[in-house]
Amino acid sequence: MHFLITGHTGFKGTWLVHLLKSRGHTVSGYSLQEEKNSLFEISNAESLLKHHIVGDIRDVAKLEKFASEVNAEIVVHMAAQSLVRKSYKEPFTTYETNLIGTLNVLRTFRARNSIKCILIVTSDKVYENSNLNRAFTELDPLGGIDPYSASKSIADIATKSWTSSFPGATTVIARAGNVIGGGDICEDRLLPELIAKYSAGEIPVLRYPKGVRPWQHVLDCLNGYLMLIERAVIEKELDGTAWNFGPDLDDHKRVFEVAELVANSLAPGLSWRPDELTHPAESEILVLNSTKSNSQLSWRSRFKADRAIQMTINWQTRISKGENAASLIKNDIDEFESKQ
């Protein structure tokens, strides 16, 4: 199968390129230029691609030209402005990228005869969140206070509207977040910051130490996407449906618990301190109920949160010692596939 990934130079996109190639698929990508020292660069992911185009999903003319040249069968749309705090600084860019970019992908690919399925990746933050102690299901209302969450919620709604209004390839929506794994260099990511601080013997500052998040290894998340695509190619009635992909309900952790796990691994005796500064609002509790994916797709996380965190620590420690990034990715994929 020929997969086209938007956002393939990002953290999740790079892992998906390697995972798909390990499973024997052809992969092409359309994305912004990779960052210096990114996982895409250090793992030489470009060498795995049939087509590698640097472009902005807001540039619909370039996207359509690329679509006509690539002739892919599956589209995985992950290109996004994905940071909450950055969305406060660049709200219009966030809305344009996450909403207009998604609509550009839908109108470019949904009506193409070669396309068998489109996966639109939104976020676990699309839900209207009142910080209640309950897990969100796919039937819960959507919302979003910060520009990032709102932009993803709107993109989610717009996708459902598009699938209802215009015929074309089966299109499904995946909601997940807080994926972890080796090679994430994006700003405002908790685990890379913790690893860097503790490795340097420094005490990290936590903005929301009691915040609850669905920590999940990137391979578990991506495997869920691929299982959904496999089903959607066969079952056309899945068009316009949304699916949660998160860890088991008993496997969520607070931010300070993650910090303590990293400290115990890298710098026993060091702790953390709360940030005394005022920051833009973020959800305090964010938990997904993935019963639908569990029961209808037979999908479950293969790595518990503790194992996923330790794998990320090990990956970053080994890369800092000069080990090969592509080999480390292969090792993690091999371990993941062995757990089927």
pLDDT in tens, 184-238: 877 778 888 999 899 999 999 998 888 888 889 999 999 999 999 999 999 989 9
Contact 145, 198 (CB under 8 A): no
Q: Range of 304's domain? A: 2-337
Order of strands, sheet of 74-77, starting from the edge strand that comes earlier in the sequence: 51-54, 26-31, 2-6, 74-77, 117-121, 170-175, 242-244
Query: Per-residue pLDDT averaged across 319-327, rounded?
Result: 95
8-38: pLDDT as tens digits: 999 999 999 999 999 999 999 999 999 999 9
pLDDT at residue number 311 = 95
pLDDT at residue number 38 = 94
pLDDT at residue number 280 = 65
* Residues paired with residue 51 on neighbouring β-strands, in sequence order: 28
Which residues neighbour 279 within 8 Å (Cβ) at sequence distance 6 or greater? 85, 207
Indicate the number of domains in the chain. Answer: 1
Query: Per-residue pLDDT averaged across 74-85, rounded?
Result: 93
Query: Per-residue pLDDT averaged across 87-95, rounded?
Result: 95
pLDDT at residue number 285 = 75
Which residues neighbour 310 within 8 Å (Cβ) at sequence distance 6 or greater? 261, 265
Query: Per-residue pLDDT averaged across 178-186, rounded?
Result: 88
Token digits for 1? 């199968």
pLDDT at residue number 81 = 92
Q: What is the CATH number of the domain that holds 6?
A: 3.40.50.720
Q: What is the mean pLDDT of the chain?
A: 93
Query: Per-residue pLDDT averaged across 103-114, rounded?
Result: 96
Global pTM reads 0.94
pLDDT at residue number 281 = 62
276-290: pLDDT as tens digits: 776 666 667 788 999
pLDDT at residue number 279 = 65
Contact 222, 151 (CB under 8 A): no
pLDDT at residue number 283 = 65
Q: Which residue has the higher pLDDT, 200 or 243?
A: 243
Q: In the structure, what pLDDT confidence band is assigned to residue 252 with cuts at 50, 70 and 90?
A: confident
Angle (CA) 71-245-226 rounded to 5° is 30
125-177: pLDDT as tens digits: 999 987 677 889 999 999 988 999 999 999 999 999 999 999 999 999 999 97
